[in-house]
Amino acid sequence: MAIAEHDNVFIFVPNLIGYARIVLAIIAFWFMSTNYVVAGWCYIISALLDAVDGHAARALNQSTRFGAMLDQLTDRCGTMGLLVTLANFYPEYMFWFQLSIAIDVACHWLYMQTSVVVGRVSHKVNDNFVMRIYYQKDVLTFMCCVNELFYVCLYLLHFTSGPLILGASLYKILAFLTGPFAILKALISVMHAYVAGIDLAAVDVRERQEKRHSPEIQNSGKKLE
């Protein structure tokens, strides 16, 4: 039986999943400094639901700008909350966590804002070669997963070494393996800012040119009268 369509964006299925992600993230934040089991599972489930809401949006034809923005903000705030905790757990590396937060938030905000300004259907649509590769479904999923896994492993290592493999901590092994990808993702975030800056500057140039030509058009119109 077909499901009747409606236009109440706020209760679209992917957005309901988005609200659940927010609730889980808040619970994770609350327990993050005291209970790594509850915090860890809530954070991981919230992150995994990121793929579920995207699939639901495509399957149900419920992709919306609101949903895309909700998804981006949840991702950024979730990672930021974890990084704040890591900065507290590893104060000697606080600068790098601060830098990661600044890059992640600033670059993605600029990129999303520019996508809206230039009128793109989706922020994942871009002519830049690097962006086209990065936003391929499998590439994006892999990069997001290994990035989150790196930070989650650092978080867990504060409490426990976890399972041992040949005498080495599994969490530490995973952190070493995923660390380079986390750095690569940060560099790609900087690329987001670069691409967005070029696009936004092009909009400024076009608007300035239109303003300069506008008085000439008006004056020519008066002369014809």
- The catalytic residues are 75
Q: How far is CA 155 from the centre of its chain?
A: 20
CA–CA dist 130, 194 (Å, integer) = 11
97: number of CA atoms within 13 Å, CB side?
20
Q: Which residues pair with 164 in a beta bridge?
A: 169
CA–CA dist 122, 100 (Å, integer) = 25
Give 64's DSSP letter. Answer: -
CA–CA dist 52, 184 (Å, integer) = 25
